[in-house]
Amino acid sequence: MKRLNGMKWKYSPSPSAVRVAMAALEPTSPKEFLQQATHIIVAVVDDEGKPWAVPLGLKSYKHRTFQWFSAVDTVHSRAIARNPEVAVTAYMADPTYGVCARAHAKKQLTLPGGFALYSAEIYEAWYNTGKRIKTNIDVKDL
């Protein structure tokens, strides 16, 4: 806090300054974005045949494959056991840039306490920019 003419004030950057700073941090490629992503949303078809999407913390992303930990009795884990076809959206705190994908998911490792390590390998992907333009990605580039 600073004082100006006896009044307390806090500096707050203008929206344009924030956009310039964010642009400097924007990934240079979809692959770079995926390597920096911290979360994914996995969409499946639930036990009743209805769509279900859940945000998950991302353990890792490497060679077109996401990894995350989940309890095996969750809606999405049961759905993956029935059908490995999932939709995946990767994201960070800035929602203006994102990579979406279709992938084949599977349980890789059963862990103690009713948990498992899952993975999903991308077979189709696209990204959105701040202008909300959907652009296809060659998955070989990921």
- Alpha-helical (H) ranges within the chain are 15-25, 30-36, 75-82
CB 107 within 8 A of CB 93: no
Cβ contacts of 138 within 8 Å, gap of 6 or more: none
Taking the whole predicted model, whether its pTM rises above 0.75 is answered as: no
Taking the domains of the chain in order of start, what are their residue ranges?
27-141
Q: What digits encode the pLDDT tens for the residues 62-113? A: 999 999 999 999 999 999 999 999 999 998 866 667 788 889 999 999 999 9
Structure tokens at 80: 């993956």
CATH 3.90.1200.10 fits 27-141, yes or no: no
Question: Which phi-psi region, left, alpha or beta, contains residue 93 (left: φ > 0; alpha: ψ -120 to 50)?
Answer: alpha
What's the DSSP call for residue 114?
Answer: T
- Between these two residues, 119 and 94, which has the higher pLDDT value? 119
